Amino acid sequence: MSRGKLIFITGGARSGKSNFAEKMALSLGKSVAYLATGQPLDKEMADRIKKHKTKRPTEWETYEEPIEVRELVSSLGLEKEVILIDCLTLLVSNLLLREKNKVGNPQWEEKILLEIEKLTEISYQVPAQIIIVSNEVGMGLVPDNPLGRVYRDILGRANSIIAHKADEVFMMISGIPLKIKG
């Protein structure tokens, strides 16, 4: 079995990451699985999710999974040509907050990062092309609260893990993709 390619797309909020990732997925294959990590925890987020769904091609299969992304990649990666994970930003948030009482515990943080490592490993064990979208958090303000700072630090490290392992990395700036690796 040949291995697929791992592609990482990062950039600021509203920089065009998802649109670029969706166009790329269309160009890489017809059989696409869209792994959505967002959760409709309030009306505004539910509306965002609904809007995102209507933009996707109808032949794509959507899987809404906030935590067990690696397991889905493991199974879907054997049957789909392309898997688009949108997004790592929310996956890390979901992993961090599933045991909120452990926030700030270095062992908990390392466990989250180990899950991201395993996601990259499984991405190379399946033939599907894997596209991962994530917000770049290292260029913004330092959060004014401990939870925000812990989250920013973990996501920054998770982004670094994915970027170092990825075959290609793109940075979105004002809707324009800049290829920075591969």
The 176-181 sheet, strands edge to edge: 61-64, 32-36, 82-86, 129-135, 6-11, 168-173, 176-181
DSSP helix/strand/coil, 88: helix
Task: Give the integer Cα–Cα distance in Å for 14 and 68.
Answer: 25
Catalytic entry in 3, 26, 31, 52:
52
User: Does the active-site annotation cover 164?
Assistant: no
Please list the active-site residues: 52
